[in-house]
Amino acid sequence: MKLEITQKGIFDQNGKEAEIGSTIDVKGDTVPAWLVNKCRPVGGSGKKAVTNPAQDPVTPVVEGYAVAEKSPGWLVVNKDGVAVTKAMRKDELEGFDAMSDEDKGAFAELHKG
């Protein structure tokens, strides 16, 4: 496996320090312990990296009034995906989902942000 030197402190068998950016060959498919965090693999190893792409972070827009988390521990009331109240704690919004749309509108008006 070919490795590119990225940090100082790597010496060859003659005791000469390898320059940053130079490449060396090592046996096997793993980086030796003495090279960890001091190099990076170069070229293709014939193996494909396994990645886990992030899920789409966009939350679908809920029509009408809905409670949404603004930040950890803080909630807001959204109307059609837009915040219409100030940030509140969970206990302040207890029972909100059971309200009629008319009552939700009045609640949002009372707690404008």
| Furthest C-alpha separation in the chain | 83
Q: For residue 19, is pLDDT > 70?
A: yes
pLDDT band, very low/low/confident/very high, at 14 (cuts 50, 70, 90): confident
Query: Sign of the C-alpha dihedral, residues 35, 39, 40, 44?
Result: negative
Residue with token string 């190099």: 39
Residue 28 confidence (pLDDT): 85
Residue 86 confidence (pLDDT): 94
Query: Taking the model in full, what pTM does it have?
Result: 0.47
Residue 95 confidence (pLDDT): 92
Residue 30 confidence (pLDDT): 86
Residue 87 confidence (pLDDT): 93
The full DSSP string for the chain is -EEEE-SS--B-TTSPBPPTT-EEE-SSSS--GGGTTTEEEES--S-PPP--PPP--PPPPPSSEEEEEEETTEEEEEETTEE-S--B-GGGGTTGGGS-HHHHHHHHHHT--
Tell me the pLDDT tens digit for each residue of 30-86.
Answer: 888 888 889 888 876 556 666 776 665 666 667 889 999 988 999 999 998 889 999
Residue 42 confidence (pLDDT): 85
Give the start-to-end residue ranges of the domains of the chain: 1-45, 65-110
